[in-house]
Chains A and B, each alone.
Chain A
Amino acid sequence: MQQTIVNNLSKLGPLIGLVLIMTILGFMSDNFFTLDNLLNLLRQISINALIAFGMTYVILTGGIDLSVGSILAFGSALTAGMLASGMDPLLAVLIGLLAGFAMGAFNGLIITKGKVAPFIATLATMTIFRGATLVYTEGRPITGLSDSFLFEMIGRGYVFGIPFPGILMIIVFFLLFFLLRKTVFGRQVYAVGGNEEAAKLSGIKADRVKIWVYSLTGMLSVLAGIILTSRLNSAQPTAGTMYELDAIAAVVLGGTSLAGGRGRLYGTLIGALIIGVLDNGLNLLNVSSFYQQIVKGGVILLAVLLDRRSK
């Protein structure tokens, strides 16, 4: 009985943390709990959340993906380049997403067929994809993109006053939540991360599951990149640098184990919210960005330590 309460508490931990931080910020800043700011917040977190959702899948299989930021940059640049050359925006976006998928699949292939540890493999491709982006853009931002409604909508649009990226993020969340909880594939993700050998002997093609998971993450990274590109109306070759860290932080704050096999997508959403709320709130409070980093790191550390306690 007692243990189930503790158990539930640890499941709710991230949510309690989020509510706590929001309450504190609400007291400190009058602007925090305004509708405008909260909607703004939803838009701000959408990019990190989308990447972190993919990262959750990867980490659940016992892997890690450091290349998400570089994939984001390359996919954005590619899409922007096609847009600038006047291609149909829908087609450009689809090709961009496909490129993200392919880059992820490349990661997955190196990890499974090449038997390279995920950390090393994606550390290498992080550099490769970033280099490819710089080559493609010649180190310069791509501007003068499409003024099509669709493309503007992705990063800058509103539906009934709600920022479109936020809506997109929430739709993707539900899709991925369903995929993880209700489908055979989702089960296989947990099994591969929990005990790869047992999963294989149960007839699961562990390699295939992993390749899919990295591909998915690659595609989500580019989706995040397209939102960013639309918002700035330009693609920066250095876009997405260090984004992998915020994504991993969101996953960990959400209670997913880096050892694989254990975790929840809903936790990652909360984790992304915590990071977003901190960024947003500290900005409102005019805390210098130097201190912001210290606070953010401190919160992550505290969360992980508390999590240890409850286990």
Chain B
Amino acid sequence: MAEFVKMTGIDKAFSGNQVLKDVSFDVLPGEVHALMGENGAGKSTLIKVLTGIHPRDGGTIEVRGKEVTFSNPKEAERAGIVVIHQELNIIPHLTVAENMFLGKEMTIGKTGILRKKDMYNQTLENLKRLGVTNIDPNETAGNLSVGRQQMVEIARAVSTNAEMIIMDEPTAALTDREIDSLFDVVESLRKQNVSIVYISHRMEEIFKICDRITVLRDGEYVGTERIADTDFEAVVKMMVGRELGERFPARTSEVGETIFEVKGLSRDGWFDDIDFHVKQGEILGVAGLMGAGRTEIMEAIFGAAKKKKGQVILNGKPLNIKHPQDAIRAGIGFITEDRKDEGLVLHLSIRENIALTNMKAISGKGYISSKKEVNLIDDLIERLHVRTTGREQEVKSLSGGNQQKVVIAKWLGIEPRVLILDEPTRGVDVGAKKEIYNIMNELTEQGVAIIMVSSELPEILGVSDRIMVIHEGKVARFLDREEADQEKIMQAATGGE
């Protein structure tokens, strides 16, 4: 079968930094092709080169056997190639229907008068194709959960009758149910002979839905395999260039006394009467469905969102937290779920971002000591293995996983006693995930109490000492490491007994 897309010998550098070196990549009609690699391996960049967002420095691109160069994504779209980018492209102030038809509005003839009713119905139709029936096309897109926004984008891509859809980490923010319906869509697209390029750090997904897999490492092409001919270990080895060993490192810390307690935390309509505690050196995993209120609970504890009632107690002393600053002063760190909107100032450097939370350590009487700052930042960059050209690099130009490491680095400097991590490994590659787990281990060995919110059950099970399951804003159940399994967690999370 002839390739639909064939990229050969692609080179690309950003300001002297070679990001793609002689990369080849081809996609057959109707196949689901996984593009894998560590954070910063160049996956997103390869896609951006294909669709004309970045010009390439060398190599050729063929579509349907004809050599092409797209100068922008619109041209690529006309040739039947659509991308759903890692960073969502939804315009939050517009409605779902307006987003769906952005740039290709249905009008009465050429008058520019909109056919709103038709667009509304077509939007419903497009969403229904994905099995999504609970999104109102007239809803403002920004009010939807990230997962639903993603669904809108996918529906938009599917509606263009594309012949190839590229999904760059589409499931990072989806609920399990949404992921299942996404896979159904992928399946039906495959039957319609649409090619899918699928980028994800969730290995289970790759083996579930993909036909072939291409691996990049450090911007170089490592190889292409049929899924049937390979396995988990082999793929990981291709990605990181060595054996990785256990996915979840053994827990090593000794669990001590209770250090942190939350009592009767409530906020009307969000969560109700939340009670829990964490011990020194313990990791408390917080499981639950997307939208169960886990993030909101953590934000309330941290002083980033309002609470109605309740107490937060550290070392036996009740804290009066009104602003994140109070929480930080008390020794509580909070690694937020959404690194772009809440974790980072994108156009500032790594140095300036990490420094934000660490002003106390690097300044005296309000004056910043450059030497202390540089030392602290370089230490943290090294400790977390952030892949960067240096501390002055803008975090915007880091790959997703490396951005996440910068967010984590921000909080290690304050030497927290309690660290809350909300989806700490979202969009992070297998190797880096393990590094993050190792860091969590290390912190707990020093007596830090960790609260980890995660939607990945394997992670919850692999990392936590104890698990708290949240269902619709209430604590549904606590589980010990020994007794916990996927089924029990899912049952509690969905409100079952």
Question: Is B357's CB under 8 angstroms from A203's CB?
Answer: yes
Determine the chain A residues whose CB is within 8 A of the CB of B304 once the complex forms.
200-201
The answer to whether the Cβ of A309 comes within 8 Å of any Cβ in the partner chain is: no
Among A2, A191, A198, contact of B15 (Cβ-Cβ < 8 Å): A2
Bound CA span A198–B407, Å: 10
The answer to whether the Cβ of B336 comes within 8 Å of any Cβ in the partner chain is: yes
Q: Provide a sorted-by-A list of 27 A–B residue pairs whose CB atoms are within 8 angstroms.
A: A3-B15, A183-B363, A184-B368, A187-B352, A187-B355, A187-B359, A187-B368, A190-B352, A191-B345, A194-B347, A198-B341, A198-B343, A200-B304, A200-B324, A201-B302, A201-B304, A201-B324, A201-B334, A201-B343, A202-B328, A202-B357, A203-B323, A203-B324, A203-B327, A204-B325, A205-B323, A261-B348
Bound CA span A3–B15, Å: 5
- Tell me the minimal C-beta distance from A174 to chain B in angstroms: 15
The answer to whether the Cβ of A1 comes within 8 Å of any Cβ in the partner chain is: yes
Q: Which of A4, A185, A187, A190 has the most CB of B within 10 A?
A: A187
The answer to whether the Cβ of A231 comes within 8 Å of any Cβ in the partner chain is: no
- Tell me the minimal C-beta distance from A214 to chain B in angstroms: 19
Bound CA span A300–B363, Å: 39
Determine the chain B residues whose CB is within 8 A of the CB of A262 once the complex forms.
347
The size of the chain B interface, using a CB distance under 8 A, is: 31
Bound CA span A13–B368, Å: 29
Among A183, A184, A195, contact of B346 (Cβ-Cβ < 8 Å): A195
**Which residues of chain A have a CB within 8 Å of any CB of chain B?**
1-4, 182-185, 187, 190-191, 194-195, 197-205, 261-262
Question: Is A199's CB under 8 angstroms from B359's CB?
Answer: no
Question: Is A182's CB under 8 angstroms from B367's CB?
Answer: yes
Bound CA span A198–B342, Å: 4
Bound CA span A199–B345, Å: 8
Among B323, B336, B366, contact of A185 (Cβ-Cβ < 8 Å): B366
Q: Would A198 and B352 be within 8 Å (CB), given that A184-B366, A205-B325 are in contact?
A: no
Q: Would A197 and B341 be within 8 Å (CB), given that A182-B368, A184-B366, A203-B328 are in contact?
A: yes
Question: Is A201's CB under 8 angstroms from B336's CB?
Answer: yes
Question: Is B356's CB under 8 angstroms from A199's CB?
Answer: yes
Question: Is A195's CB under 8 angstroms from B15's CB?
Answer: no
Determine the chain B residues whose CB is within 8 A of the CB of A205 once the complex forms.
323, 325
Nearest first, the 5 A-B pairs at minimum CB distance are A3-B15, A194-B345, A203-B328, A203-B325, A202-B356
Mark contacts of B287-331 with chain A using CB atoms, 8 A cut-off: 1 yes-contact digit, 0 otherwise: 000000000000000101000000000000000000111011100
The answer to whether the Cβ of B16 comes within 8 Å of any Cβ in the partner chain is: yes
Bound CA span A198–B324, Å: 11
Q: Would A183 and B345 be within 8 Å (CB), given that A1-B15, A3-B15, A201-B304 are in contact?
A: no
Bound CA span A4–B346, Å: 19
Question: Is B344's CB under 8 angstroms from A195's CB?
Answer: yes
Bound CA span A187–B345, Å: 12
- Tell me the minimal C-beta distance from B348 to chain A in angstroms: 6
- Tell me the minimal C-beta distance from A206 to chain B in angstroms: 10
Question: Is A4's CB under 8 angstroms from B345's CB?
Answer: no
Bound CA span A204–B348, Å: 16
Question: Is B368's CB under 8 angstroms from A194's CB?
Answer: no
Among B325, B346, B363, contact of A194 (Cβ-Cβ < 8 Å): B346
Bound CA span A231–B343, Å: 50
